[in-house]
């Protein structure tokens, strides 16, 4: 029985050692890249007994939140300081607060704006009680967004569009007051669901419901087929009744 012998070569160990060193250096480089990307995050959220706690190693400059060149000609003067609109004051915001909890911030009216305190005396600085949350975290009733008429509202799944939202003047929040957001398509072209359903029940055999919704091709098909001998008419009554068939422009019923 033959015995297979392998001769040990010193250069094999050196080769494996070199590959090991290269692998260690590569892993170290990857870890440095990951740590660098994590360290660029400006906002960190920690959780305590009272809830999430927002901290940041970099305190945002007030000028980045409210631009210095913003027009203050429409700002009221002589009123109470805490009732001034957000674009008329400048606050020293910080992110060391508990999310959703009221926090006192030091604010001052912008140049050219004058206000008074509860005592009736003019104030250069005052404290404002603001809920600790970013502007994009506000309730939808506290900001207004652009509405798109180029997306289909009647679709499955529901489609979204990119909107630009602005916070209302009397609402105070952290961060930028204008922010992007993805919203569901929600607009109407003036078509009434009750009218479409009534036409489908009474004159659906002649395609009146489809003509009303702007679907003239389907309307012609129903007209010349006498509502698909009644089958198409019955199906359309059900589809319009549940809202599956809508206006041709993709808008919602009113």
Which whole number is the average pLDDT over 221-229? 88
- The alpha helices in 131-242, defined as continuous H runs, are 193-202, 208-212, 216-224, 226-229, 231-241
Order of all β-strands in the sheet with 51-55 = 44-48, 51-55, 97-98
pLDDT digits (tens, 9 = 90+) for 85-108: 988 998 998 888 888 899 999 999
Quote the pLDDT of residue 48: 46
Lowest mean pLDDT among 48-52, 73-77, 122-126: 48-52
Most confident of 57-61, 145-149, 196-200, 225-229: 196-200
Tell me the domain boundaries of the chain. 75-132, 139-187, 193-242
d(CA 4, CA 122): 99
β-bridge partners, 48 = 51
Q: Are 76 and 112 in contact (CB under 8 A)?
A: no
Helix pair 231-241, 216-224: axis angle to 10 deg: 150
pLDDT band with cut points at 50, 70 and 90 for residue 49? very low
Q: Indicate if the pLDDT at residue 119 is higher than 90.
A: no
Determine if the pTM surpasses 0.75: no
pLDDT digits (tens, 9 = 90+) for 157-193: 777 888 999 999 889 999 899 999 988 877 677 788 8
CA distances for 144 relative to 131, 168, 181, 187, 235, angstroms: 19, 7, 11, 14, 39
């Amino acid at each position: 029985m033959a015995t297979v012998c392998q001769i040990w070569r010193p250069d094999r160990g050196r080769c494996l050692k070199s590959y090991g060193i290269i692998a260690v250096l590569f892993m170290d480089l990857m870890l440095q890249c990951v740590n660098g990307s994590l360290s660029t995050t400006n906002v960190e959220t920690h959780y305590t007994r009272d809830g999430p706690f927002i901290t940041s190693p970099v305190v945002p400059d007030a000028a980045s939140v409210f631009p210095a060149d913003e027009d203050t000609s429409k700002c009221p003067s002589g009123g109470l300081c805490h009732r001034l609109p957000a674009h008329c004051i400048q606050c020293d915001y910080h992110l060391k607060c508990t999310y959703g909890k009221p926090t006192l911030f030091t604010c001052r009216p912008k140049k050219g704006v004058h206000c008074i305190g509860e005592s009736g005396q003019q104030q250069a600085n005052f404290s404002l009680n603001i809920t600790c949350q970013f502007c994009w975290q506000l309730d939808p009733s506290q900001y207004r967004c652009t509405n798109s008429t180029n997306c289909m509202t009647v679709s499955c799944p529901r489609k979204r569009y990119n909107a630009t939202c602005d916070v209302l003047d009397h609402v105070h929040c952290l961060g930028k007051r204008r922010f992007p957001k993805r919203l569901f398509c929600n607009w109407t072209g003036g078509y009434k669901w009750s009218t479409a359903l009534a036409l489908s029940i009474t004159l659906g055999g002649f395609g009146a419901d489809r003509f009303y919704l702007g679907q003239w091709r389907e309307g012609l098909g129903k007209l010349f087929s006498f509502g698909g001998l009644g089958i198409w008419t019955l199906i359309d009554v059900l589809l319009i009744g549940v809202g599956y068939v809508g206006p041709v422009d993709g808008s919602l019923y009113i």
